[in-house]
């Protein structure tokens, strides 16, 4: 290892293609590439002395980035109790969860 070689760089380079496939299977372009890059950047900014299991740590970052993405992309509806019943609300929620794509499987 050279003086300029980051201790986590080998893991990042090894996992990059898998990470890209993970996001690409769940998120449309170009967001999948942004999530891949953001995940790798956060991983490389980590203190290697505090990361005991680098591969697991990287995939934990990826999972959290995906969940945050899904939370941001989730459609929201304002509930008006004078205009919508509880039964209608349940039906609307079911429609949303089946049409939300990869983010609906949480």
Indicate if the pLDDT at residue 20 is higher than 70.
yes
Indicate if the pLDDT at residue 29 is higher than 80.
yes
Q: Which two structure tokens, joined as six digits, stand for 106?
A: 């949480």
Nearest to 34 by CA among 26, 44, 23, 46: 23
Contacts (Cβ under 8 Å, ≥6 apart) of 85? none
Its pTM stands at 0.69
Do the beta carbons of residue 42 and residue 61 sit within 8 Å?
yes
| Sequence ranges of the domains in the chain | 9-101
Q: What is the Cα–Cα distance from 63 to 39, expressed in whole angstroms?
A: 9
pLDDT digit string, tens, across residues 43-92: 999 998 999 999 999 999 999 999 999 998 877 666 566 665 666 666 65
């Amino acid at each position: 290892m050279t003086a300029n070689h980051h201790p986590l760089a080998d893991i990042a380079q090894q996992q990059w293609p898998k990470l890209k496939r993970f996001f690409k299977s769940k998120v449309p372009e170009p967001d999948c590439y942004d999530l891949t890059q953001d995940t790798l950047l956060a991983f490389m900014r980590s203190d290697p002395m505090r990361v005991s299991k680098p591969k697991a740590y990287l995939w934990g970052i990826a999972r959290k980035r995906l969940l945050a993405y899904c939370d941001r992309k989730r459609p929201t509806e304002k509930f008006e109790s004078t205009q919508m019943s509880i039964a209608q609300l349940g039906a609307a929620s079911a429609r949303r969860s089946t049409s939300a794509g990869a983010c609906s499987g949480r």
